[in-house]
C-alpha cells in the first residue's frame, strides 16, 4: 500500500471515530491551558484535571498565580509527578508573563519555548489549542502510532513531527493531533495493540503477523 493511500485511510478512519475531538485538559483561558499542559508532563490528563480544579479556582491568571507564590502552588499540585519542579516553573513563568507580556500568553513559538518549563511540545499544544495556529505536537501516543502505521522511521519525535507535517494537510494538523491521541489511548495503546490488533493497524497491514517493535520517543 502506498503511503498516500495510508494517509487517506487514516484521515478517514480517525474522522469516523472522532469527528469533534475535545481538548482533554480542562482550562478557562490561555493561561490556564498553558499551566495545564505544563503539568501534564509525566502525568495523566485525568489527574491534572483533578488537581487544577482547585488551583484554577484560586488563581486563573498570571498575576494571581504569581502572587500565590511557589510554596502555595506546590501545595495544590504536590500529588503530581515532578511537582517541586513544576511549581517552580509555574511561578517563574507567571512572573515573566507579568513583567514582559502584560500577563498575557504570547502566540509565538520561540517566545513560548523561552518560558520556564515550556518545551517545544507544550508550546506547540498552546499555539494549536489556544490560538488555532497549525502545529503537530508529538506525544508518546502519536510517536507510537506514526511508527506502527509506517508514517515515520521513528528515530525521534523531531523526525516524527517533520514526517507527519509533510504527509498530512496543514489545515487538519490541530484536529488530527487530538484524533491521534484519542485513538492511541482507546484502541492502539502499548498494551492494547502491538501493531496487529486495532482497526487501523489491521486495515493498513492485513498481513502483519508479528508484533511491531517501535522505538520510544
Per-residue model confidence (pLDDT) at position 217 = 62
Per-residue model confidence (pLDDT) at position 117 = 96
Per-residue model confidence (pLDDT) at position 97 = 98
Per-residue model confidence (pLDDT) at position 124 = 97
One of 139, 165, 175, 202 is an active-site residue; which one?
Answer: 139
Angle (CA) 9-14-15 rounded to 5° is 100
One of 6, 61, 121, 163 is an active-site residue; which one?
Answer: 121
202 counts as catalytic: no
121 counts as catalytic: yes
Exposure class string for 27-61: b at 16+ Cβ within 10 A, else e: beebbbbbbbbbbbbebebeebbebbeebbeebbb
pTM: 0.91
Per-residue model confidence (pLDDT) at position 197 = 94
Domains defined for the chain, CATH in brackets: 3-20+136-204 (1.10.1670.10), 30-131 (1.10.340.30)
pLDDT in tens, the chain (217 residues): 899 999 999 999 999 999 999 999 999 999 999 999 999 988 999 999 999 999 999 999 999 999 999 999 999 999 998 999 999 999 999 999 999 999 999 999 999 999 999 999 999 999 999 999 999 999 888 999 999 999 998 788 999 999 999 999 999 999 999 999 999 999 999 888 989 999 999 999 999 888 887 776 6
**Which conformational region is residue 82 in: left (phi greater than 0), alpha (psi within -120 to 50 degrees), or beta?**
left
* Residue 101, φ and ψ in degrees, nearest 5: -130, 25
Amino acid at each position: 500500500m502506498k503511503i498516500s493511500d495510508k494517509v487517506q485511510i487514516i484521515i478517514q478512519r480517525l474522522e469516523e471515530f472522532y469527528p469533534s475531538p475535545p481538548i482533554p485538559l480542562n482550562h478557562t483561558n490561555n493561561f490556564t491551558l498553558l499551566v495545564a499542559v505544563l503539568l501534564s508532563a509525566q502525568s495523566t490528563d485525568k489527574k491534572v484535571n483533578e488537581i487544577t480544579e482547585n488551583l484554577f479556582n484560586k488563581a486563573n491568571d498570571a498575576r494571581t498565580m504569581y502572587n500565590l507564590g511557589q510554596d502555595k502552588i506546590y501545595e495544590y499540585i504536590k500529588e503530581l509527578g515532578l511537582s517541586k519542579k513544576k511549581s517552580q516553573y509555574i511561578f517563574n513563568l507567571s512572573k515573566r508573563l507579568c513583567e514582559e507580556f502584560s500577563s498575557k500568553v504570547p502566540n509565538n513559538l520561540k517566545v513560548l519555548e523561552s518560558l520556564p518549563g515550556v518545551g517545544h511540545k507544550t508550546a506547540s499544544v498552546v499555539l494549536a489549542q489556544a490560538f488555532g495556529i497549525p502545529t503537530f505536537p508529538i506525544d508518546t501516543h502519536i510517536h507510537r502510532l506514526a511508527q506502527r502505521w509506517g508514517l515515520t522511521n521513528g528515530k525521534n519525535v523531531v523526525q516524527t513531527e517533520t514526517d507527519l507535517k509533510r504527509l498530512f494537510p496543514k489545515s487538519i494538523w490541530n484536529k488530527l493531533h487530538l484524533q491521534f491521541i484519542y485513538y492511541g489511548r482507546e484502541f492502539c495503546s502499548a498494551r492494547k495493540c502491538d501493531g496487529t490488533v486495532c482497526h487501523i493497524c489491521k486495515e493498513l497491514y492485513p498481513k502483519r503477523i508479528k508484533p511491531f517493535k517501535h522505538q520510544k520517543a
